[in-house]
């Protein structure tokens, strides 16, 4: 691997452009020094020289966020009564996100500076005018415009559009299934599907899959996915996957719940599968996020250190242990892990599978089970919520009370409750 100085010289311009774009004029140099010092002190942790640029820019993103956070006297911008957290779609389905933070990060530098001075510093408009060297009237107009752009960027309820129904072979009611432990040793398998969106990122691949709530087993939404061609993001080559969600909630205010189109760029290389970019329509605007966009991307679509991805070679690593409904084990970077071999019978067919568990690796309140057959395809995917996950969005009652009939897991001493399942057209 090249020396730190050589790699930094190669990518210094990108870091400077990134920081100077995100911070007000005159603030970038000190932050850049912090970026370089942090990168130098952690350089020995970098596993791959080819990841130096995104790794450096991830540090830059964090330092810019620290710059705003350190000057914050409150944790949110008090615009009307906007809640701080909400639900959005991610690679593991619904997750909570810091809505105010994400909305502010979408604004340009001047808007962020104006909101910072008015709401974090709590300066009167006359003092803001004096600091910026502009008339008070200019401050009033800029502040009004910044508020309006914040409200436009901030999530708000959408409206339902037309309800055209597209047909799918996926059943409306999930067939009853059984999961029986197999005493034989788990087999080793190459699992190349994208996490939470089970399509293999290779030309010609496609998949339909549906989500089914429990215990009703009713289908709540379904998605069709297809690899559309090759793509490249910031110099990294992958493939583009088009995904259309049907019957889903209007998380991104597209004006339609019958069809929501989303696109991914996914890379399958060096024994890992990872997402490089995600885009969707939001308020009539195409939003594009890449692995260089910090937490707004990595919290929802990233995996592993430096977004290295999930290993495709799956075998028991011993990081997670399962005995019946009791699970113990470490979080990242060991996650996910194979915890046993199981016979899954669904729709009259029995599949020999290994169970791959993600124990709070993606989210500390979510556990998942993927039952993968010898072809590396998902037979059944099951999600469990920690008993206190996102209760404010679901009536305030613990999940064990909301879904008393559903299976429970005890994971590192905490209760997790089965919420929903996913199957693909692979099992049809």
Contacts of 412 (CB under 8 A, 6+ apart): 327, 328, 329, 359, 360
First to last CA, the chain: 48
Q: Which two tokens stand for residue 224?
A: 């069709």
Closest CA to 372 of 318, 309, 416, 423: 423
Residues 254 and 351 in one domain: yes
Instruction: Check the CA dihedral 255-102-86-305 and report its sign.
Output: positive
pLDDT in tens, the chain (428 residues): 578 999 999 989 888 887 886 777 678 889 999 999 999 999 988 878 878 888 898 898 888 877 776 655 443 444 444 455 667 777 777 777 666 666 776 777 778 778 877 766 667 888 888 888 888 888 888 888 888 887 777 654 443 334 344 678 999 999 999 999 999 999 999 999 998 899 999 999 999 999 999 999 999 999 999 999 999 998 889 999 999 998 876 554 445 456 788 999 999 988 999 999 999 887 777 889 888 877 778 778 888 766 778 999 999 999 999 999 999 987 655 578 999 999 999 989 999 999 999 998 877 899 999 999 999 999 999 999 999 998 888 888 999 999 999 999 999 999 999 999 999 999 98
Q: How far, CA to CA in Å, does 373 sit from each of 141, 225, 354?
A: 61, 20, 7
List 207's β-bridge partners, or say none: 225
Q: What torsion, rounded to 10 degrees, do the Cα atoms 303, 306, 309, 313 define?
A: -120
* Residue 302 belongs to some domain of the structure: yes
Residues 372 and 296 in one domain: yes
Q: Is 120 exposed, middle or buried (0-12, 13-18, 19+ CB in 10 A)?
A: middle
Residues 103 and 212 in one domain: no
Residues 362 and 417 in one domain: yes
Q: How far, rounded to the nearest angstrom, does the alpha carbon of residue 283 sit from its chain's CA centroid? A: 20
d(CA 395, CA 392): 6
* Residue 163 belongs to some domain of the structure: no
**How many folded domains does the chain comprise?**
3
Q: Which two tokens stand for residue 89?
A: 């779609």
* Residue 171 belongs to some domain of the structure: no
* Residue 281 belongs to some domain of the structure: yes
Q: Which two tokens stand for residue 126?
A: 């006359």
Residues 200 and 308 in one domain: yes
**CATH number of the domain that residue 195 is part of:** 2.40.360
Give pTM, 2 decimals.
0.72
Residues 103 and 235 in one domain: no
* Residue 166 belongs to some domain of the structure: no
Residue 257 has a pLDDT of: 55
Contacts of 232 (CB under 8 A, 6+ apart): 238, 265
* Residue 386 belongs to some domain of the structure: yes
What is the extent of the structural domain holding 136? 85-153
* Residue 349 belongs to some domain of the structure: yes
Residues 199 and 304 in one domain: yes
Residue 48 has a pLDDT of: 80
**CATH number of the domain that residue 122 is part of:** 1.10.10.10
**CATH number of the domain that residue 59 is part of:** 1.10.1740.10
* Residue 399 belongs to some domain of the structure: yes
Q: How far, CA to CA in Å, does 166 sit from each of 90, 223, 280, 299?
A: 23, 11, 20, 31
Residues 233 and 360 in one domain: yes
Residues 133 and 225 in one domain: no
Residues 64 and 115 in one domain: no
């Amino acid at each position: 691997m090249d020396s730190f100085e050589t790699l930094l010289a190669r990518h210094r311009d990108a870091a400077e452009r990134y920081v100077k774009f995100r911070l007000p004029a005159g603030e970038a140099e000190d932050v850049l020094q912090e970026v370089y010092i942090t990168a130098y002190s952690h350089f020995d942790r970098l596993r791959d020289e080819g990841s130096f640029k995104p790794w450096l820019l991830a540090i830059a993103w964090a330092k810019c966020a620290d710059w705003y956070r350190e000057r914050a006297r409150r944790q949110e911008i008090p615009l009307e009564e906007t809640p701080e957290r909400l639900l959005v779609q991610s690679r593991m389905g619904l997750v909570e996100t810091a809505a105010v933070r994400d909305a502010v990060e979408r604004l340009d530098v001047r808007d962020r500076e104006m909101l910072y001075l008015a709401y974090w510093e709590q300066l009167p408009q006359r003092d803001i005018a004096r600091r910026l060297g502009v008339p008070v009237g200019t401050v009033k107009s800029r502040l009004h415009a910044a508020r309006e752009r914040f409200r436009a960027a901030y999530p708000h309820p959408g409206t339902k559009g037309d309800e055209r129904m597209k047909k799918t072979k996926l059943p409306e009611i999930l067939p009853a299934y059984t999961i029986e432990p197999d005493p034989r040793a788990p087999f080793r398998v190459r699992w190349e599907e994208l996490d939470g969106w089970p399509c293999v990122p290779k030309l010609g691949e496609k998949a339909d899959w549906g989500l089914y709530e429990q215990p009703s087993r009713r289908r709540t939404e379904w998605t069709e996915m297809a690899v559309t061609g090759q793509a490249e993001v910031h110099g990294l080559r992958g493939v583009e996957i088009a995904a259309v969600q049907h019957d889903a909630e209007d998380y991104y205010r597209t004006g339609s719940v019958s069809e929501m189109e989303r696109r991914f760029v996914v890379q399958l290389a060096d024994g890992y599968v990872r997402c490089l970019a995600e885009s969707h329509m939001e308020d009539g605007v195409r939003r594009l996020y890449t692995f260089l966009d910090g937490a707004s991307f990595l919290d929802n679509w990233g995996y592993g250190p430096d977004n290295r991805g999930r290993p495709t070679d799956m075998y028991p690593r011993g990081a997670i242990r399962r005995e019946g409904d009791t699970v113990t084990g470490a979080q990242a970077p060991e996650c996910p892990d194979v915890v046993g071999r199981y016979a899954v019978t669904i729709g009259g067919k029995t599949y020999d599978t290994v169970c791959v568990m993600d124990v709070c690796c993606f989210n500390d309140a979510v556990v998942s089970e993927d039952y993968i057959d010898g072809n590396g395809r998902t037979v059944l995917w099951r999600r469990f919520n920690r008993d206190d996950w996102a209760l404010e969005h679901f009536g305030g009652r613990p999940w064990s009370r909301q879904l008393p009939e559903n299976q429970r897991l005890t994971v590192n001493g905490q209760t997790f409750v089965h919420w929903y399942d996913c199957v693909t057209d692979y099992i049809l």
